[in-house]
Amino acid sequence: MPQGPAAGSAIPAKRALPSKESTLFKDLLSHYESRQLKKGHKIADQILKKFPEHGETLCMKGLVLTHMGKREEGLELVKKGIRLDLTSHICWHVFGLIQKGEKNYDEALKSYTQALRFDKENLNLLQDAANLQTQLRLFDSLQETRHTILRLRPNVRRNWVALAVAYHLGGNLEDARNVLEQYARTLKNIPDYDTEHSEVILYHIRLLADLGHNADALALLDTSAKSRAVVDRMSIMEYRARLLSSTGAQDDAAHAWRALIEHNPDNYAYYRGYLSAKGFDIDNLPEVKTPEVLKILSELGEQMPKAAAPRRLALDVASGTEFTTLARTYILSALRRGIPSLFADIKALYTDPAKRDAIERVVTAFYDSLSNSASASTPATHLWTLYFLAQHHSFSPSPPSPPSPPYTHALTLIHTALAHTPTLPELHTLHARILKRAGDPYGACAALEEARRLDGQDRYVNTKSAKYHLRCGMLEEAEGVLGVFTKKDAASPGADLEDMQSLLYMLEEASAQNRLNRPGLALKRYLAIQKVFDDIYNDQYDFHSYSIRRFTINIYLNLMSFEDKLRAHPAYVASSVEASRIYVRVHDDPSVATASTSIANMTGVAKKAIKKAKKAAFKAQEEPKKGLTQATSNEDKGLEPGPAKDEDPEGIKALGVKDPIEQAWKLLKPFATPTQNSLDVWIAVYDVSVRRQKYLLAAKALLKARGLKGEDGELHIRIVDFKQRVSSLPQLPADPIGPALASALALILPDELALETYNSQYLQRHASSAASVLAAAKVAHNLHAPIEEVEDLLFRLTTPEVNDDIKSGLATHAFLVKLGSRRADEFRQGCDDRYVLSTVFKTPEEIARLRAPPAQGMSDGDEPPEGQ
């Protein structure tokens, strides 16, 4: 916080105050310090009455007002104050505080740097600056700042550790180690089992291990453990085991891992450590060594009779009849004990088709034995076995014999299970999943509702049900379901879930809006997901000071690397790509921004929803205003701006930006890195770059995409599009871009080949792939082929030569509709006939009927007689 002027420096005349006002100013500072805002405000006015041009007082008044919620007025005063006294560290400090509150870390650090110019040794300024430098990952200047702080206060323990951490973050591990060693020499009289000291030692050990000094790390660990300096006993054991493994003392290492297994016999990492100390890399095990590993695991299994881990690991390792025997024991024991998660545990083995088949044989035989004999089995075992088999045939359907639609067998099994025990929610949830996979989202939704009615307290089922509703485009119903668990005073269930950063909900809702052709609302949600990640990133700020103060360094370093990888999160990537696609749509056809979001286009339900959202948003704005009318109160509103009001409930403004394509690029730019390996990202980067006329970047994106999946249909469309666009340029861009572009293009597509030929060659290569046939048809359309020709291509999907699926069928139908083809409905009807279990190819009227909530089945006109 601002402090009085540094002693000894000459005070400029305009800053100097007579002694009475000088005392008042000190009072102002201490009132602010104790958040006596009202008093501070009064005193500031008192000073300003005599010295209206006193910069520091103006800044302090601005700061007080900001805390009281009068943000704009406050900021105005602060800026005026700075202009009047540009060399005051107080003025700059105040400005920095306010910018920091607005999370404008860049600008805040600039203000702090200014402030430090005029008060070089101000510890408050230095600490805050260090936090800002950490947040902005400016490690060189962070090291300098931490060094200065340590020089000023060498007797404060945490200043040493803070400097070491600063070196560590900047990658200077050796310097970090030097600091820690010097720090260790300054310590005396540390009590036994001091938590903070213990954390620093563990950090020191980690640092030594990161440097590769495993022997030193081990020595430090052993002496510290003996001298009762390390509190965390599990950490001692884990570090010991790892360090012994890395130093090559394999016997001791095996011993240490074995001790850890005793401690927690279900931690897979311990078994891996133990086996690797014995010389076995379980993930790359030569076949000759499997018998030895299986023997070890079986011994461990006997010693830990309750642990699943050694038995489950053996299933990874074993093969052939050995596998069948082990799998039988493992699976049947779990079925007898009624473990619902058995299939989720087992299904990773299905990547090996031989293991998949063996499991099918084992469980099917077991099921037959249950049905045939009066064996000593319980009805529960019978049920869990059916449940397992239904999951098995849903996840990995066998080729049906005689031919029947896929999932028929899974459905038969789940119907048997439901007839056996209709009260188990898991069965209804699985029923829903099978229907979903078979292409019946509406039936799936109804099945999940059955599960939800059985147990209203199950939030997992509740969320699933909402998700399935969203998949059917039933947004209102989804909100109703979610509202059972969300906060009752929130503006809406959706608003609460956004507040709670529910990425699942936000992604599903956005894509539901997208499917309903409401790009504005979808875009708004995608941008809200972006904001969630901004918030998570900003939230680390407090830990820069907290973790150092509490010496929780190890976990802090983990947090820092988590935050650095934060934006690789799938939800963040997906929201960026999807939002960029919407911007591209608007760029190509600006009427999208006006047409699809205009209220006139919406159904009554949607209109109502929007009205409701508007009302809620209005209410949410009114509430803080009520507080403002009594702004003279002492209540501290903090320096962070309150929640921004929602001025765009329909996403019209988001959609109507002047430069959609630049907005799209802003979202994608961080992903266009050499290590990016998502096809979707590179296709999106191409779509945006080529529209920004950044042809070289577009070419690079295509080459990247081709490296990932050269024959992808979406990529094929882009390659032809690129060629068309570049050839229609009046002239190639100037040197050096032009020639570079020409050679990139030559790499992507041979120059002499006509595009039509290129397209038909592609089609020939992938005549059986539905996605490729669709892509070739789209390209043919772009090359101005007559519509009949395009239709003929698309109708190839209905022939047995093409391996089509529901997804490609839907995409093809959508494309036919977009073309205005007269055969679109014929295609839809054909799909509907072929996908017997699916409902997505029904007519809109039929779908509306499917969506209607099923009758509750609880009539009340059937009053039984007395006594029923």
Partner 1 sequence: MAADPNTTAKPSTRPSERVSFASLTTNNLGTVRKLNSVLFPIKYSEKFYKDILAPEVEEFCKLIYYNDIPVGTVCCRIETKDDQGRLYLMTMGILGPYRCLKLGSQSLEHIITSASAHAKPKITKVYLHVQISNPDAKRFYERHGFEETGIEQDYYKKIEPRDAWILERKISPSD
Q: Which residues bind partner 1 (CB under 8 A)?
A: 336-338, 376-380, 382-383, 420-424, 452-457, 857-860, 862-865, 867-868
For residue 705, the Cα-to-chain-centroid distance in whole angstroms is 23
Give the shortest CB-411-to-partner 1 separation in angstroms.
20
Strand partners, 867: none
Distance of CA 408 to CAs 347, 400, 403, Å?
20, 9, 10
Give the shortest CB-410-to-partner 1 separation in angstroms.
21
Give the shortest CB-456-to-partner 1 separation in angstroms.
4
Distance of CA 40 to CAs 31, 84, 124, Å?
5, 21, 21
Q: Would you say 178 or 421 has its CB closer to partner 1?
A: 421
Quote the tokens at residue 853. 């909530």
Q: Would you say 248 or 456 has its CB closer to partner 1?
A: 456
Residue 249 region by backbone torsions, left for phi larger than 0, else alpha for psi between -120 and 50, else beta: beta
Give the shortest CB-390-to-partner 1 separation in angstroms.
16
Give the shortest CB-866-to-partner 1 separation in angstroms.
9
Q: Would you say 2 or 425 has its CB closer to partner 1?
A: 425
Helical packing angle, 770-782 and 713-727, nearest 10° = 20
Quote the tokens at residue 71. 């943000």
Q: Would you say 8 or 867 has its CB closer to partner 1?
A: 867
Q: Would you say 154 or 379 has its CB closer to partner 1?
A: 379
Q: Would you say 325 or 378 has its CB closer to partner 1?
A: 378
403: cis peptide before it, omega within 30°? no
699 burial class (0-12, 13-18, 19+ CB within 10 angstroms)?
buried
Contact predicate 445/406, CB 8 Å: no
Quote the tokens at residue 616. 């809620």
Q: Would you say 18 or 338 has its CB closer to partner 1?
A: 338
Give the shortest CB-860-to-partner 1 separation in angstroms.
5
Give the shortest CB-479-to-partner 1 separation in angstroms.
20
Q: Would you say 734 or 858 has its CB closer to partner 1?
A: 858
Q: Would you say 146 or 452 has its CB closer to partner 1?
A: 452
Q: Would you say 457 or 603 has its CB closer to partner 1?
A: 457
Give the shortest CB-478-to-partner 1 separation in angstroms.
19
Give the shortest CB-74-to-partner 1 separation in angstroms.
50
Q: What is the CA radius of gyration of the chain?
A: 34
Give the shortest CB-638-to-partner 1 separation in angstroms.
39
Give the shortest CB-265-to-partner 1 separation in angstroms.
21
**Residue 201 identity:** I
Q: Would you say 459 or 822 has its CB closer to partner 1?
A: 459
Q: Would you say 468 or 551 has its CB closer to partner 1?
A: 468
**Residue 15 identity:** R
Answer positive or negative: Cα dihedral of 288, 294, 295, 297: positive
Answer positive or negative: Cα dihedral of 42, 43, 44, 50: positive
Give the shortest CB-839-to-partner 1 separation in angstroms.
25
Q: Rounded distance, CA 654 to CA 519, Å?
A: 10
Q: Would you say 403 or 865 has its CB closer to partner 1?
A: 865
Quote the tokens at residue 376. 């000593």
**Who's near 490: CB < 8 A, 6+ residues apart?**
496, 499
Sequential DSSP letters for 59-109 = HHHHHHHHHTT-HHHHHHHHHHHHHH-TT-HHHHHHHHHHHHHTT-HHHHH
Nearest to 230 by CA among 187, 200, 260: 200
**Who's near 238: CB < 8 A, 6+ residues apart?**
260
Q: Would you say 1 or 454 has its CB closer to partner 1?
A: 454
Give the shortest CB-581-to-partner 1 separation in angstroms.
41
Give the shortest CB-333-to-partner 1 separation in angstroms.
10
Residue 863 region by backbone torsions, left for phi larger than 0, else alpha for psi between -120 and 50, else beta: beta
57 CB neighbour count, 10 Å cutoff: 29
Give the shortest CB-671-to-partner 1 separation in angstroms.
44
Q: Would you say 382 or 834 has its CB closer to partner 1?
A: 382
Answer positive or negative: Cα dihedral of 795, 799, 803, 807: positive
Q: Would you say 227 or 371 has its CB closer to partner 1?
A: 371
Q: Which long-range contacts (CB under 8 A, 24 or more apart) does 399-405 make?
A: 405/438, 405/835, 405/836, 405/837
Q: Which long-range contacts (CB under 8 A, 24 or more apart) does 672-675 make?
A: 672/697, 672/701
Give the shortest CB-864-to-partner 1 separation in angstroms.
5
DSSP run (H or E) holding 281 = none
DSSP run (H or E) holding 497 = helix 493-499
Give the shortest CB-857-to-partner 1 separation in angstroms.
7
Q: Would you say 294 or 418 has its CB closer to partner 1?
A: 418
DSSP 599: G
Helix (H, G, I), strand (E, B) or coil at 196: helix
783 burial class (0-12, 13-18, 19+ CB within 10 angstroms)?
middle
Contact predicate 161/548, CB 8 Å: yes
| Main-chain dihedrals φ then ψ at residue 154, nearest 5 degrees | -70, -15
